[in-house]
Amino acid sequence: MLKILGRANSFNVRKVLWTCDELGIAYEREDWGRGHRSTDDPEFLKYNPNGLVPAVVDGDVVLRESNTIVRYLATKYGGEEFYPKDIVQRAICEAWMDWANYETSISLRGAFLAGVMREDIWNNDWFIETGRRLITKEVGQIDEHLQSTGPYITGETFTVADIPIGLAVNRWYYLQFEQPEYPAVARYYEQLSTRPAYMKHGRNGLP
Ligand SMILES: N[C@@H](CCC(=O)N[C@@H](CS)C(=O)NCC(=O)O)C(=O)O
């Protein structure tokens, strides 16, 4: 059975849990990371030498990096719709995933990890303000895009691209500063909320 290493409240672990439940993949999960066993433990570092959750064990295969794991699971267990084989459609999905993992993760460090969680290493006024400004711009870009596509991020079909974007959108609603209205993003949030696996691992009361 697939083994997921990482605490269930981690943004990046939730991508893997959501994907597993969308695809009906059975898994077991071990708690590692903040509040649980440390990811600096040599036992964990055997699975991910970078010391970050999630890591996944699938038989003899050991994987790290949440988006890579999502794509691996989608390739192995998912259908053509969830992770298109067409190289152009595939690249469109991957571009959204990469953009989310780089751009919105950096902004959310400032706006959320510093601005809401007050995590010591990020907690700095400039970083918070910059994060808030950038995430507002980025969620605005998602809103503008969704006005002409939708209901999902790449169009009619729910794909791997919705996994990181859907979690970033959920976190957006937990930020503590005055935010503009983004009606297409609000519709997207409701659309995702029709999916039981999103309600379990995405919009589950956690930022
Ligand atoms: N690029 C990595 C980032 C992983 C990451 O930042 N994980 C965080 C949790 S979301 C972590 O391990 N934090 C340390 C901890 O929980 O102890 C990925 O996408 O998997």
Q: Are residues 127 and 189 in the same domain?
A: yes
pLDDT, averaged across the chain: 97
Q: Are residues 133 and 115 in the same domain?
A: yes
Q: Which of 28, 59, 77 is the last residue of a domain?
A: 77
Between strands 55-58 and 27-30, the pairing is unpaired
Q: What is the pTM of this model?
A: 0.97
> Is the CB–ligand 1 distance for residue 154 below 6 Å?
no
The closest of 176, 186, 169 to 15, measured between CA atoms, is 169
86 CA from centroid of ligand 1 (Å): 30
pLDDT above 90 (res 199): yes
Percent of the chain residues topping a pLDDT of 70: 100
Percent of the chain residues topping a pLDDT of 90: 98
Whole-number pLDDT of residue 150 = 85
Whether residue 183 lies inside any domain: the answer is yes
Q: Which of 77, 97, 127 is the last residue of a domain?
A: 77
Q: Are residues 93 and 171 in the same domain?
A: yes
Q: Are residues 62 and 102 in the same domain?
A: no
Q: Are residues 72 and 100 in the same domain?
A: no
Whether residue 118 lies inside any domain: the answer is yes
CB-based contacts of 112, cutoff 8 Å, min separation 6? 131, 171, 174, 175, 207
CATH code of 119's domain? 1.20.1050.10
183 CA from centroid of ligand 1 (Å): 30
Q: Are 13 and 2 in contact (CB under 8 A)?
A: no
**Which segments of 10-86 does DSSP mark as H helices, in order?**
11-23, 42-45, 66-77
| Alpha-carbon dihedral 42, 47, 51, 56, rounded to 10 degrees | -140
Q: Are residues 96 and 123 in the same domain?
A: yes
DSSP state of 37: B
Transcribe 92-132 into DSSP letters.
HHHHHHHHIIIIIHHHHIIIIIITTT--TTT--HHHHHHHH
> Is the CB–ligand 1 distance for residue 48 below 6 Å?
no
Whether residue 206 lies inside any domain: the answer is no
Q: Are residues 91 and 193 in the same domain?
A: yes
Q: Are residues 21 and 96 in the same domain?
A: no
Whole-number pLDDT of residue 51 = 98
Question: How many domains, in total, are found in the chain?
Answer: 2
Q: Are residues 101 and 172 in the same domain?
A: yes
What is the mean predicted confidence (pLDDT) over 19-47?
98
For 107, other C-beta atoms within 10 Å of its C-beta total 23
Taking only the tens place, the pLDDT of each residue in 136-181 is: 999 999 999 999 998 999 999 999 999 999 999 999 999 999 999 9
The closest of 63, 37, 153, 61 to 99, measured between CA atoms, is 153
Taking only the tens place, the pLDDT of each residue in 66-85 is: 999 999 999 999 989 999 99
CATH code of 11's domain? 3.40.30.10
Q: Are residues 10 and 91 in the same domain?
A: no
Nearest-atom index, ligand 1, CA of 54: 20
pLDDT band at 21 (very low <50, low <70, confident <90, very high): very high
Q: Are residues 134 and 70 in the same domain?
A: no
User: At 155, is the secondary structure helix, strand, or coil?
Assistant: strand
Expressed as residue numbers, the domain containing 37 is 2-77
Q: How far is CA 56 from CA 36, 76, 81, 99, 195, in A?
A: 17, 14, 23, 23, 24
